[in-house]
Structure 1
């Protein structure tokens, strides 16, 4: 299959590109940086330079690739700026969907998140509404997710991968990453807020499967949503950082997500729990 990946040099892309190439797919990766092209060629993929905020640039890259499927892995996570990430989800996705339509692409697989659901008891399933009434600053993140998912749904066949919190190589949870630094400073709360995690290898492994899934959203999370007072001490021990004392609190939307649908579609996480995955 001929696949165009937008965001193929990020944390998931670095896992995904070689995986798709090994499976025999022809892969073209859109990147804003020409210096990424040699590494993409070494991985067995072609590259196309584009600016995701320039609609014509994106259209030219997608048209030149002539893909059967577009895979959307665009994020702006490195700086930890929710507004920057929301912008790429809204404007970047709009440009990518427009380019896909112009190129006659009938299927798109897109990265979203599993913590934009409205408050409620227990882990959220895919039919739980998004938290569109959230106040600022959460409204920025949820608004970006809503814009992304609405745009993607304009394509004839679409799969929205609502990922859990990434951990593994290159993430905030890796040794030397943002969370390790925050633990060292004592600014991570071991409270009741529930998270759902997913290892980056398992996140990438969902994409080839999604090439054949029916349209809709799918939570890609591990088997064990957990409150911070459980997972924070485990991560701290792995990273050699001091574990914070248990505290109370957590927002009502911090509820985790359920992965029953993904498992029913054939996705089986290689790291079914953060306990061993960390």
Structure 2
């Protein structure tokens, strides 16, 4: 198939381009800079330079390429470390989830694209009630913390718009929290915070998180393109959901740091915000059972425990000396 990957140089985009080429697909990767276009070319894909929010440019590119499938991996997470101002940090990504999704869908429809697969998120958007591990049919949070409301609204818009599309067929992938060498939770800035004990365990640390290695996220995306059911949502996570009080001290130990400080929830509400207290104490993880069954996908990194241990050495090599 001819696959158009929007966001081809992002955390999932990079391994996805490689995985698609390895699976025998012809890949065109979208980026908005010439420097990243050269990187796409070195990976073996055809680069296209355009702004994902430029409707005319995207329509022209898809009309020329006429791919069989489009993958929406567009985000803007550069410098997204100060989560105290959550919606502000994710404002650009939210525009890509709303306006960017509309542009891609319209352009794909006009170009006769058969399938569109879009990135969403598995974890804190779920309702903070009931069991610790949620499935795709479970409700999202009806009353999220104030500083996450715009982001959840954008996620809901993307999911509703994509799964409601018939032409092209729409599929949504709710990825767990990303990690990989120098990526996501193992980005050098995150590891620096953990190493310097600036990421405390808030309250009881009972919030449940799901993780996924970026290579596994890419492999699942290939499966979704090839065999996902139209209109479906899939949680793409590993087999080992974990509470903050488990995974954060374990990460600190793996990188050779001291155990994280503890911070009472009432103090954290004042200095960090209710939303960060929620992410540390109340959020829910996601089950990958549906993706395994319907996509025939198995994570090569079934647990973040071994996954962190494998990826951390490469990530640490990118960090400044202590």
> What is the CA distance between 1:48 and its match in structure 2?
1.1
Q: Which sits farther off after the overlay, 217-226 or 247-256?
A: 247-256
Q: Cα 1:132–1:31, aligned 2, differ >3 Å: closer, same or farther?
A: farther
Q: Is the 8 A contact 2:208 2:244 kept in 1?
A: yes
Output one character per residue of 1:75-119: Cα deviation in whole Å (capped at 9) or x when no partner.
111221122221211111111111111111121111100121122
Report the Cα distance in structure 1 between the residues aligned to 2:188 and 2:302, rounded to whole angstroms.
22
SS of equivalent residue, structure 2 residue 233? strand
Give distance in 1, aligned partners of 2:282 and 2:288: 17
Partner residue in 2 for 1:193? 207
2:8 and 2:30 in contact (8 A); partners too? yes
Report the Cα offset of residue 151 of structure 1.
2.2
- Report the Cα distance in structure 2 between the residues aligned to 1:248 and 1:268, rounded to whole angstroms: 38
Does the C-alpha gap of structure 1 residues 88 and 200 become closer, same or farther in structure 2, counting only changes over 3 Å? Answer: same
- 1:49 and 1:61 in contact (8 A); partners too: no
* Aligned counterparts of 1:219 and 1:253: Cα–Cα separation in 2: 19
Shift in Å at residue 192 of structure 1? Answer: 1.5
Whether contact under 8 Å (2:163, 2:233) holds in the other structure is: no
Give 1:1-278 correspondences, 5 Å limit.
1-80=1-80, 81-115=89-123, 116-121=125-130, 122-156=132-166, 157-174=169-186, 177-190=188-201, 191-211=205-225, 212-215=227-230, 216-245=232-261, 250-251=277-278, 254-265=283-294, 266-278=296-308
Q: CA deviation at 1:245?
A: 4.0
Q: How large is the Cα RMSD of the aligned pairs?
A: 1.7
**What is the Cα deviation at residue 131 of structure 1?**
2.0
In the alignment of these two chains, the number of paired residues is: 277
Give the Cα–Cα distance (whole angstroms) in 2 for the partners of residues 51 and 209 of structure 1. 27
User: SS state of the match for residue 285, structure 2?
Assistant: coil
Any gaps of 5 or more consecutive residues in structure 2?
81-88, 266-276, 309-322
Partners of 2:109 and 2:292 lie apart in 1 by 30
State the distance in 2 between where 1:196 and 1:248 align: 23
Structure 1 length as normaliser, TM-score?
0.94
Greater helix fraction, Structure 1 or Structure 2? 2
2: CA distance between counterparts of 1:131 and 1:68? Answer: 34
